Amino acid sequence: MNAQPLVDSHGRVMRDLRVSVTDRCNFRCLYCLPETEEAANFYRAGFPPESAEEKARPIVLQWKPRSQILSLEEIERLARIFVGLGIEKLRLTGGEPLLRRGIESLIGRISAIEGLRDLALTTNGFSFSARAESLRQAGLPRITFSLDSLDRKNFEKLTGRDGLDDALTGIETARRLGMTPVKVNAVIIRGLNDHEIADLGAFARERDVSMRFIEFMPLDSKRAWQREHVVPGKEILERLQTRFELTPVNSTNRSETARRWRFPDGDGEIGIIAPVTEPFCGHCNRLRLTADGHLRTCLFSLKEHDLKPALRDGGSDAEIERQIRAVVQGKEARHHIGESDFQQPERSMSCIGG
C-alpha cells in the first residue's frame, strides 16, 4: 500500500469509495428518475394543474453510450489503485448494479484485492433473489436494499414499479445467506411516506435488519426538490421514540454518516442519515466514481474529473494515482444545501451513483 494517505486540503483521509457500475435503472423513483411529468412534480407544492395528457407525458431518459461506460477490467484496475491509496471500503452502486452484465465476475475480482476490508452492494432488490447465491459465492459479503414503503400502492407510487414483494423476498434471502448486517434504506418525503416511519422501524425490529432513514435530498432528474418536503432527522427520531424505546449506539468512527440506535429488548437497528439538516461534511472520507469514469469528491459536486483518458490512452498506474491525489486535494469543505448559492448537480442520483 502507498505510504502516503489519500488526504484532502482539509486534513480528511479518504477511506470510502462508491463505484457506480451502470447509470441504468429498472425503477423510476420520484426522487431520482421519475417516469412522467406528473410523477416528477408529485411533491412540488402549488404545481399548476395540467391536462391529463400533459401529466402522463413520459420523460425520456438519455443513458450513456456503452462505449463511455467503464469496462469491468477498467473498474477493477481503478479499484486496485484506490485500495493502494488507502481506500478500505468499497460499495458497488448504480443505477441498479444488478443490471450490469458480469457483476458477479467483477465482485470476484474486487473481493480478492489485498487491503480491501469491506465490500458491499446497494440494490432495489427487484432481481436480487434470483442472483443471491451467485453473488454470495462470488464474494459479496454485504448488501443494502432500498425500501421506501411497506404499502404496495405507495411503493408503486414512489418507485413506479410493483416490486414490493421482490424487495421483501430479497431481504429475507440475504438474511438466510448470512449477508450481515443487512441494511435497508428508506428516503423519507413529507406527504408521501413519512406516515410509515414507525412501521419501517417495526420492520427493522421484526426482521433484524439495519434500517436507515435518509433525508430527502435535491438529486432528482427534474429538479422538483423543495425543502418543505424534507422530514428532519430530529423529527424522524421523535416519531420513532413515540413508539419504541431506543438505545443510542456509540461509534468511534467519526466518518460514519448515520446516527444509530438499537432496540434494547429486540433485534434490529435504526440509523438516521440527515445530510440536509445535520451535515456531516467535516468528517467526510468518501469519494464517488461514476459509471462513465468520472471521479466526484462530493455527492453535490458541480465538477467531475474524467479518469478515462488516462485509463484508455496508456496512462500508468502512477499517473492515475497522481491525478486522483490532485482531485482529492480539491475536495469541497462542505455542501451548500439550503443556502442562496446552492446549485443542484447536473446529474441525478442514478447517474452519480448512490
Q: Which CATH architecture has domain 16-352?
A: Alpha-Beta Barrel (3.20)
32: left (phi over 0), alpha (psi -120 to 50) or beta: alpha
pLDDT at 189: 94
pLDDT at 57: 60
- Each residue's pLDDT, cut to its tens digit, for the chain (354 residues) gives 445 889 999 999 999 999 999 999 999 888 887 655 555 566 554 445 455 555 556 555 667 788 999 999 999 999 999 999 999 999 999 999 999 999 999 999 999 999 999 999 999 999 999 999 999 999 999 999 999 999 999 999 999 999 999 999 999 999 999 998 999 999 999 999 999 999 999 999 999 999 999 999 876 655 667 888 999 999 999 999 999 999 999 888 888 989 999 998 878 999 999 989 988 888 999 999 999 999 999 888 889 999 999 999 999 999 999 999 999 999 999 887 777 677 776 776 667 876
Q: What CA–CA distance (Å, rounded) separates 123 from 99?
A: 10
The answer to whether the CB of 1 falls within 8 A of the CB of 13 is no
Q: What CA–CA distance (Å, rounded) separates 298 from 343?
A: 13
Q: What CA–CA distance (Å, rounded) separates 335 from 187?
A: 19
Domain boundaries, the chain: 16-352
pLDDT at 208: 95
Task: Give Cα 254 distance to the centre of its chain.
Answer: 19
Rg from Cα positions in the chain? 20
pLDDT at 219: 67
Secondary structure of residue 193 in the 3-state scheme: coil
Tell me how far apart the terminal alpha carbons of the chain are, to the nearest angstrom: 27
CA angle (152 as vertex; 134, 157 as ends), nearest 5: 100
Secondary structure of residue 294 in the 3-state scheme: strand
The answer to whether the CB of 59 falls within 8 A of the CB of 113 is no
The answer to whether the CB of 147 falls within 8 A of the CB of 184 is yes
pLDDT at 46: 46
Q: Is the peptide bond before 309 cis (omega within 30 degrees of 0)?
A: no
> Residue 16: phi, psi to the nearest 5?
-130, 130
Which pTM was predicted?
0.91
294 beta partners: 306
Secondary structure of residue 123 in the 3-state scheme: strand
Secondary structure of residue 142 in the 3-state scheme: strand
